[in-house]
Amino acid sequence: MYFIPKFIYLALKNEGYTVYLNHKRIIDYVEDSCVTISNIIDNFIQGEAYNIGSKVEWERDIKDYSDIILKSIGIDDSKIILLRLPSNHRLQCCFHDQ
């Protein structure tokens, strides 16, 4: 996910960033995804649909990821802008610099 390295980079530079509240992501381990894709390739059946998904309980709010990053770096969230969008709003680009 592109937002994690961006949050880390900006936090390390002591710059703020915007966190859109109520937006969630599921992040899988790369190795797990590679094993899944490999299994599909090894057992591919033409015409079949293959859905690669994650467990709903792995879903986390974007703010949770931001909080983990800030805590790990040892800084507070005073430069973080928290923005709540309507639940029916679709972001064109999920994360913007200030």
CB-based contacts of 12, cutoff 8 Å, min separation 6: 73
Q: What is the mean pLDDT of residues 62-76?
A: 94
What is the value of pTM for the model shown? 0.66
Q: What is the mean pLDDT of residues 45-53?
A: 86
Indicate the angle between helix axes 3-12 and 62-73, nearest 10 degrees. Answer: 30
Q: Give the residue from 61, 59, 62, 58 showing the smallest Cα distance to 17.
A: 62
The CATH-assigned architecture of domain 3-84 is Alpha-Beta Complex (3.90)
What pLDDT is attached to residue 33? 77
Q: Which residue has the higher pLDDT, 89 or 56?
A: 56
Q: CA 86, 55, 72, 1 torsion: positive or negative?
A: negative
50: left (phi over 0), alpha (psi -120 to 50) or beta: beta
d(CA 48, CA 62): 33
Sole residue written with tokens 């960033």: 17
Show me where the domains of the chain are located: 3-84
pLDDT digits (tens, 9 = 90+) for 79-96: 999 998 776 666 554 444
